[in-house]
């Protein structure tokens, strides 16, 4: 079956039924995609307006028309950043601690070999920018199972 379509400038295009179904299906999918984009755009615009309001209120509440500076501390700024949905300012910390461990089912012919296995294979991994500066392992007890 052949379908003939003429657009407004007089161009005539011939479609098969399969071509027409594919074009209509694609059009419907594009409409859904456009609606999704419009919904996301509306949500993002709402977030932008809210963030602008938070930023204005933050600075306006700290503004003294007689002065040239606005005073605030890191906690105030972090509260603003949290309110507008972004990452807070970070400080650097050092954490010192102890890790206790038990490793079972180590195949070894003697206690020393079992201890060597743990010393060689035990590891610590950290994600992000943190660095492991010091790493010691002490074996407190070794028992045969």
Give the H/E segment covering residue 46: helix 17-61
What 3-state class would DSSP assign to 15?
Answer: strand
Tell me the whole-structure pTM to 2 decimals: 0.51
Res 125: pLDDT:
86
| Whether the Cβ atoms of residue 57 and residue 70 lie closer than 8 Å to each other | no
Looking at residue 80, what is its pLDDT? 94
CB-CB neighbours of 99 under 10 Å: 9
Determine which helix (DSSP H) or strand (DSSP E) holds 81, and give its type and residue range: helix 74-83
Q: For the chain, which residues make up each domain, given as ranges?
A: 2-83, 92-145
**Per-residue pLDDT for the chain (145 aa), expressed as one digit of tens each?**
677 776 778 787 777 788 888 989 999 999 999 999 999 999 999 999 999 999 999 999 988 888 888 989 999 999 999 999 999 999 998 888 888 889 999 999 999 999 999 989 988 888 888 888 888 888 888 988 8
Please identify which residue in the block is written with the tokens 């027409």: 20
Q: What is the pLDDT of residue 126?
A: 86
Measure the CA–CA gap between 20 and 4, rounded to whole angstroms: 10
Task: Report the DSSP beta bridge partners of residue 17.
Answer: none
Neighbours of 53 (CB within 10 A): 12
Residue 76's closest CA among 64, 92, 56, 58?
Answer: 58
pLDDT score, position 1: 66
**CB of 5 closer than 8 Å to CB of 12:** yes
Name 12's Cβ contacts closer than 8 Å, sequence gap at least 6: 4, 5, 6
pLDDT of res. 9: 80
């Amino acid at each position: 079956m052949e379908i003939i379509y003429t657009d407004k400038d007089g161009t005539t295009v011939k479609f098969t039924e399969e071509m027409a179904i594919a074009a209509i299906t694609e059009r419907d999918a594009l409409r859904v995609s456009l609606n999704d984009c419009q919904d996301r755009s509306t949500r993002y615009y709402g977030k932008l307006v809210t963030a602008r309001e938070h930023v204005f209120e933050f600075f306006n509440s700290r503004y003294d028309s007689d002065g040239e500076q606005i005073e605030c501390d890191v906690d105030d700024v972090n509260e603003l950043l949290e309110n507008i949905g972004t990452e807070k300012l970070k400080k650097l910390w050092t954490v010192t601690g102890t890790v206790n461990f038990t490793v079972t089912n180590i195949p070894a012919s003697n206690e020393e070999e079992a201890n060597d296995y743990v010393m060689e294979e035990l590891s610590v991994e950290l994600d992000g920018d943190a660095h492991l500066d010091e790493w010691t392992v002490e074996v407190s007890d070794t028992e045969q199972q």
